[in-house]
Structures are given as C-alpha cells and as structure tokens.
Amino acid sequence: MLTHRHTQGDGVVAVRDGAVAIAGRPILRGIDLDVRRGEFVALLGPNGSGKSTLIRALTGLRPTAGGSVSLFGTPLAKFHDWPRVGFVPQRPSAASGVPTSVWEVVASGRLTRRRLFRPLLRHDRAAIRDALDVVGLADRARDGVSTLSGGQQQRVLIARALAGEPELLFLDEPTAGVDRANQEALADALGLLSRRGATIILVAHELGPLEPLVDRVVMMRDGRIVYDGPPAGRDHAHPDHGHHHDAPRPDHLPQVSGPLDSPGAR
Amino acid sequence: MPLVDALLIDLLGLPFMQRALLAAVFTGVAAPVVGAYLVQRRLALMGDGIGHVAVTGVALGLLTGTSPIWAAVIVAGLGAITIELIRAQGRTGGDLALALLFYGGIAGGVLITGIAGQSPQVLHEYLFGSISTLSTHDVAVTLGLAAVVLLVGLGLLPQLFAVAHDGEFAQVAGLNVRLYNIVVAVIAAITVTVAMRTVGLLLVSALMVVPVATAQQLTNSFRTTLIAAMALGTGASVGGLLLSAWASYHARISPGPTIVLLALACFVLTWPLGAWLRRRRRLLTPFPDSEPATHEVADGHPHTHSDDCGHPAIPHGDHVDYVHDGHRHAPHGSHYDEH
C-alpha cells in the first residue's frame, strides 16, 4: 500500500477535461484540477457557476459526462476507500423529522469505519468526542440538534464528517447563513484540521475568517474554471471583484414545468 | 368492579384472546420501529400509501384463492419499492407518488374483489382489522414477520438512521443508499401486512406514526424516541385490545379503532406537556453575555424580585435578569436596571 502511494505521488484529487451534464445540458466543461495532499482550496464563484456541481462530481454524487476524475490516484468508478473522504453537504439544518441528539448526528459520521452489526467501540467513541471538541460543541453532545443555532448546526455537520477521520474533506458552502462568531469557530476547526495534514476543498461565497487559511483559490464562472492560484490580496488583484453586482445569472436548468412552456419567458 | 376483573380473566383464558394478545404485542412493538424511520424522512403517510396498495394484494389473494396475507406482502412490497423509486427519481416528491398509489391501490382492490365474486364485506375485515378471528397459523405468520421487522429495523439502526437523516452524506460515506431505502420500504410493507389483521389496512399507519409523534414530544434523541415509541405502541395495542374486549360486554366495540384511538389519546395527553416543556426551555435559556449599551434604571419599581417571587430569573453573564411584562430587570444596588 505504501509503495503504491509513493508511485502515485501527492495527488489527492485529479480531474482531466471533466464535464458534467444535468438533464442533457452541459454544465461543467473542460475542468482540469489537481489538488495535492495538505492543500486548502476554496472554490469561489457566483451562484450558478457550478461550484457545488463540481464538489458533487468529485464526491460521486453527480456522474461525469466526460473526462476523468480520480481520488487518491484511483478513478472514481473504482474508488471504494470512502473512509478517507469526508463530506459536509449544504443543508439548511442538521435536524430531521424525529428529535436527534448532537451525539447521534456526529456518531453517524463514524459509519464509514464501522462494520455491519457492530456497536461503537472505544476508539469510535474517542473519534466522536474528538470531532465534537474540534468544533467546540463537546458540552452540547446530549442536546437535541434542533435546539442549536444555525451556525452551531453547521458545526455539528462538520463534526460528523470529522468523526470518520478523513484525509480529504469536501465542504459545500459551510459559511452560508452563518454569523461571524460561528464563522470564526468554524475557521478555527478547519485550521486545526489543516495543521493535522488534512486536504480541504470548500465551496464558499465569501471567505471571511477563512481567508488566512486558504492556500489556493479556484474561481468558477459559468461552468468553467477562470482562475486558479493564490488567494486575492496576496499577489493578485481580487479575481472576483464585484461579482455581487452582476446581473442575476440563470440557474443550471431553465424552469420548464410543462411541454408547452417557453423557457425564460416570464 | 370485581365482576369486571373476573370477566377479563375469563377472557384471557380464551384461546382466541391469547392469540389476539400475542399479535397485538408483536404488532405494537414492531410498527413504531418502521414508523420512526418514515417520520424521520418526513414520509409519515407512506404507511397509508402502502396500506392502500395492500388492498389490491388482499383482493388478488381472494381472486386466486391463495393466502391474502402473502399476496398482500408481495403486492405491498412492490408498491413500497415503486414509491421509493419514484421518490428517488424525480423532484416530484414523495407525496405525489403516494397519492397516485393510494388511488390505484384502493380502486384496484375493490374492483378485483368484485371480479373474485366476493362481497365488499370480505374486504372489511382487512380494512379495519379482525384481531379476534386470528387462526394459529395467522399468529405464527404475524410473529415471524414482526421478528423480521425488528431484526432488520434495530440491527441496521446506525445505517438506516444515517440514510434517513442525510442520504447524500450517507452515499459519500460509502453506504448503498438506494439499497437501504428499499430495505426500509420493504420492512414498511411487511409491517403493514402484519398490522393488517390487528388494526386494519386503513389504520395501519396510525400504529406506526402516532407512537413516534407522542414519544417525540418529550425526547431529544432518536434512540430514546424509538424506545419510547415501541413501549407506547405496545401499550396502545395491548391496552386497546383489552379495553375493547372488556367493553364488548356492553356494546359492539372493535379492537382496531380502539387501539388507534387509545394511541391518539396518549398523544393528546402528551402534547400539552411537550409544548409546555419546550416553551419553558426556550424561556429559561440564558441571555447572550453582552452588556447593555447604556445604564438605564427601571423607574417606579415597587416590587422586590427574589428567587421565589414567581418571575423567571434567567442567567445573563454574571447575574440574572428577572423577566416580566416584556422587561428584563437586573438587580443593581437598590434599584433595577433595564437589560
């Protein structure tokens, strides 16, 4: 295993000419991306630019229409080493239809490393406690998730991904709708993980307190990568200046609710 | 009352009553297990959808002269998988898929029963239950199927919980989400068939969902909700059966509706308690630790607050604020500050 890793080098994520289509419409085109071990990458871009779609393609949630995606040197189709990957999806809340404790949500992240019909072992519990410590919610473990604030719930979702002790962590808009104090708590957690050697790829609208952690910014626009390099303010002008003032972009798929609708005519 | 007790003990000595009790216990334990996963995914009505589809299964059993239970298991299972696939496919959402199967199932069932030359009265015992007419074979099938539901529903709890809580996360964690969703659909179909003879196809879902709804008034974790719901489900089905048996000396009382109404009564009694506890919890949550911008003294405050003055004392930083009439009053020397 070790020699194998040596031959594949430090590449954690590799995309060659990646393309994703949704319902036949090409969304992502010509994506080339290499992420090395330990990098902290931010995917930026306006709404509808394909940031989340790219994350979903990298995690196998969205099939690619062309090109190749590999994780840890293995093509995605043959990749089964999911315990090495953590994922924080974009969700409005960590709650569901039945009351759930913070501990239970975080413990479900440990499933990647548990066998069927086997209870939580001591090291599983230790990993769950550590994940809660990292996001600063150890004292809320027994509380119901729905009693937490939105920002705290986001941190619970991050702890859930951490419980599986991933080497590669994908986060889809972890800072969306989260206040400054919680963004800072989140940045502390991600900084700690990064120092422990994890590779982090996150989608964000604005970096905020995450900015000092980011090694590399990948800017997307209309399904293509338009910038890939160091974050703004270090040695480049802000590549994304003023994107909030852009005209609203159409979403990936035009709304067609009936066969006689003409898309876009509203 | 001693007469009543004697009657009840007599009843318990009757073999049909013992069979009914066994079926009630197993149905009551197993149904809320599946119900918890359905409620977790906000698909509380799925049991109803499957129940309606099972009507067609029962009718097919009557038409072909085979056991209605097994025909119902198979048809309800196929229906449940169909609901799951429609839900997973499009953005249509689960509710529309459920609605379509509701109508197809019940219309098909009534139509086929007619073709089979049976009167709609035959369907009645499946629609509303007939727990007192169970044969030994029926009871054995009920126990076997309920055991399967419990084994799968509790044995795979971590996986089923994760998939129902957040399917995308579970998929990236390497779980076969579609397979687990189908597992839930199939055990839901089995539960519907198990409960068919106890409470009837039209009331099946109540035994799955109502105990969960009751339990979650007072719980804050999935595991305690599940355990409490299983206890409540068993209590309701056994209690409802005994209640109807006892009352049947006075009036014609069917066990199925009695069980469901007893479960609902538990909910009605628990809900105000849950609402009060939630309100209290919200009220007594400490205020964020921030100093008010200005020092504002509450004027004209003859009342003296204390630990037992009746006004909620809520922690605020290093002191407490007394809450009354829309104000937060913090003791400051001989007066109160507006916080």
Interchain proximity A111–B44, CB inside 8 Å: no
Tell me the two tokens of residue B129: 């239950």
pLDDT of residue A234: 57
DSSP state, residue B309: S
* Beta-carbon separation of A59 and B219 below 8 A: no
Q: What are the CA-CA distances from residue A134 to residues A138, A155, B76 (Å)?
A: 8, 9, 46
Residue A4 pLDDT grade (very low, low, confident, very high; cuts 50, 70, 90): very low
Q: What's the CA gap between A37 and A9, in Å, rounded?
A: 9
* ipTM value for the complex: 0.85
Residue in chain B closest to A100 (alpha carbons) equals: B221
For residue A125, give every residue at least 6 positions away whose Cβ sits within 8 Å of its Cβ, in sequence order, or none.
none
Q: Which sequence spans correspond to the domains of chain A?
A: 10-228
- State which H helix or E strand residue B316 sits in: strand B313-316
Q: Which chain B residue has its CA at the smallest distance from A96's CA?
A: B40
Taking 3-state DSSP, the helix, strand and coil percentages for chain B, each rounded to the nearest 5, stand at 70, 5, 25
Point out the least confidently predicted range of A155-159, B194-198, B220-224.
Answer: B194-198
List, for residues B46-77, the tens digit of each pLDDT value: 899 899 999 999 999 999 988 888 899 999 99
Tell me what the mean pLDDT of segment A153-172 comes to.
94
Cβ pairs bridging A and B (under 8 Å): 91
CB within 8 A of B110, min separation 6: which ones? B55, B59, B120, B123
Determine the distance in angstroms separating the CA of A180 from the nearest CA of chain B, rounded to an integer: 15
Contacts of A160 in chain B (CB under 8 A): 169
Query: Which of the residue ranges A214-218, B36-40, B118-122 would you say has the lowest mean pLDDT?
Result: B118-122
Which residues of chain A form beta strands (DSSP E)? 11-22, 25-36, 40-44, 66-71, 74-75, 85-88, 168-172, 199-203, 216-221, 224-229
* Pairwise CA distance, residues A241 & A245, whole Å: 9
Q: According to the 3-state scheme, what is the secondary structure of A86-135?
A: EEECCCCCCCCCCCCEHHHHHHHHHHHHCCCCCCCCHHHHHHHHHHHHHC
Ranked by mean pLDDT, the top range of A224-228, B40-44, B334-338 is A224-228
Choosing among B37, B165, B224, B277, which should be mutated to test the A contact, i.e. which has the most A CBs within 10 A? B165
Angle between helical axes of B15-40 and B136-155 (0-180°, round to 10): 30
What pLDDT score does B88 carry? 78
For B165, what's the count of Cα atoms within 13 Å in the CB-facing half-sphere?
Answer: 31
The 3-state DSSP class for residue B109 equals helix
pLDDT at B68: 86
Average pLDDT over residues B132-155: 93
Q: Which residues lie below 8 Å from residue B323, measured CB to CB, with a gap of 6+?
A: B283, B311, B312, B313, B314, B329
Q: What's the pLDDT score for residue B87?
A: 81
Instruction: Using an 8 Å CB-CB cutoff, list chain A residues near B155.
Output: 117
Look at the block and give the residue holding tokens 């509808």.
Answer: A48
Q: At what angle do helices B222-247 and B204-215 cross, to 10 degrees?
A: 130
Q: How far apart are CA B73 and CA B136, in angstroms?
A: 19
Whether the per-residue pLDDT at A257 is higher than 60: the answer is yes
> How far, rounded to the nearest angstrom, does the alpha carbon of residue B83 sit from its chain's CA centroid?
20
DSSP 3-state percent helix, strand, coil across chain A (nearest 5): 35, 25, 40
Residue range B293-317: average pLDDT? Answer: 85
Q: Please enumerate residues of B whose Cβ is less than 8 A from a Cβ of A.
A: 36, 39-42, 44, 155-156, 158-159, 161-162, 164-166, 168-175, 212, 216, 219-223, 225, 281
The pLDDT of residue A231: 87
Provide mean pLDDT across the span A110-126.
88
Parallel, antiparallel, or unpaired for β B319-324 and B335-338? Answer: unpaired
In angstroms, how far is the first alpha carbon of chain B from the final one?
A: 61
Q: What's the pLDDT score for residue A61?
A: 93
Across the range B256-281, mean pLDDT stands at 93
Most B-contacting residue of A98, A105, A160, A257 (CB-CB within 10 A), to test interface: A98
Helix (H, G, I), strand (E, B) or coil at B158: helix
CB contact under 8 A, A99 and B161: no
For residue B156, list chain A residues with Cβ-Cβ distance below 8 A.
116-117
Sign of the Cα torsion B151, B157, B160, B161 reads: positive
Q: Do A104 and B221 touch (CB under 8 A)?
A: yes
Fold of B2-205: ABC transporter involved in vitamin B12 uptake, BtuC (1.10.3470)
Tokens representing A227?
């910038």
Q: Give A205's pLDDT tier (boundaries 50, 70, 90).
A: confident
pTM of the model: 0.87
Residue B125 amino acid letter: E
Q: Is the pLDDT of residue A181 over 70?
A: yes
Q: What is the mean pLDDT of residues A5-9?
A: 47
Residue A237 binned pLDDT confidence (cut-offs 50, 70, 90): very low
Predicted confidence at residue B96, as pLDDT, reads 76
- Give the CB-side neighbour count of residue A147, counting CA atoms within 13 A: 22
Q: What is the pLDDT of residue B29?
A: 96
pLDDT per residue over B277-296, tens digit each? 888 888 888 888 777 778 88
Sign of torsion over alpha carbons A204, A210, A213, A215: positive
Backbone angles phi, psi at B18, to 5 degrees: -65, -40
Residue B40 pLDDT more than 90? yes
Under the banding of pLDDT at 50, 70 and 90, the label for residue A5 is very low
3-state secondary structure of A225: strand
- Tell me how close the Cα of B317 comes to any Cα of chain A, in angstroms: 17
Give dist(CA A47, CA A248) in Å, integer.
Answer: 8
Element holding B330 (H helix, E strand)? strand B327-332
Of the two residues B309 and A71, the one the predictor is more confident about is A71
Q: Does domain A10-228 have CATH number 3.30.365.10?
A: no
**The tokens of B13 are what?**
């000595």
Closest Cα to residue B148, out of B30, B280, B52? Answer: B30
Q: Which residues of B touch A107 (CB under 8 A)?
A: 158
Mean pLDDT computed over every residue of chain A: 86
**Residue A3 binned pLDDT confidence (cut-offs 50, 70, 90):** very low
Per-residue pLDDT of A27-46, as tens digits, reads: 999 999 999 999 999 999 98
> Can you say how many angstroms the Cα of residue A264 is from the centroid of all Cα atoms in its chain?
31
Confidence of residue A251 (pLDDT cuts 50, 70, 90): low
Question: Which residue type, as a one-letter code, is found at position A162?
Answer: L
Q: Which of A99, A108, A114 has the CB atom closest to B161's CB atom?
A: A108
A100 with B165: Cβ contact below 8 A: yes
- DSSP class of residue A144 equals B
Compute the average pLDDT of residues B327-337.
89
pLDDT at B94: 65
| Range list for CATH 1.10.3470.10 in chain B | 2-205
Whether the pLDDT of residue B269 is over 50: the answer is yes
* Residue A101 DSSP symbol: B
Q: Which of A85, A99, A109 is facing B220, going by the closest CB pair? A: A99
Q: How confident is the model at residue A264 (pLDDT cuts 50, 70, 90)?
A: low
Please judge whether B173 and A111 are an interchain contact, meaning their C-beta atoms are less than 8 angstroms apart. yes
Q: How confident is the model at residue B159 (pLDDT cuts 50, 70, 90)?
A: very high
Q: Do B165 and A96 touch (CB under 8 A)?
A: yes
* Residues constituting chain A: 266
Minimal-distance CA residue of chain A relative to B36: A98
The pLDDT assigned to A7 comes to: 41
Cα–Cα distances in Å, from A146 out to A95, A156, B43, B183, B286? 6, 11, 19, 27, 17
pLDDT digits (tens, 9 = 90+) for A63-76: 999 999 999 999 99
Cα B213 to Cα B231: distance, rounded to the nearest angstrom: 13
pLDDT tens-digit map of B77-105: 999 998 888 887 765 566 777 788 888 99
Q: How many residues does chain B have?
A: 339
Min Cα distance A152 → chain B (Å) is 15
Q: Do A142 and B161 touch (CB under 8 A)?
A: no
How far apart are the C-alpha atoms of A195 and A213, rounded to whole Å?
Answer: 10
Lookup result for tokens 């299972």: B77
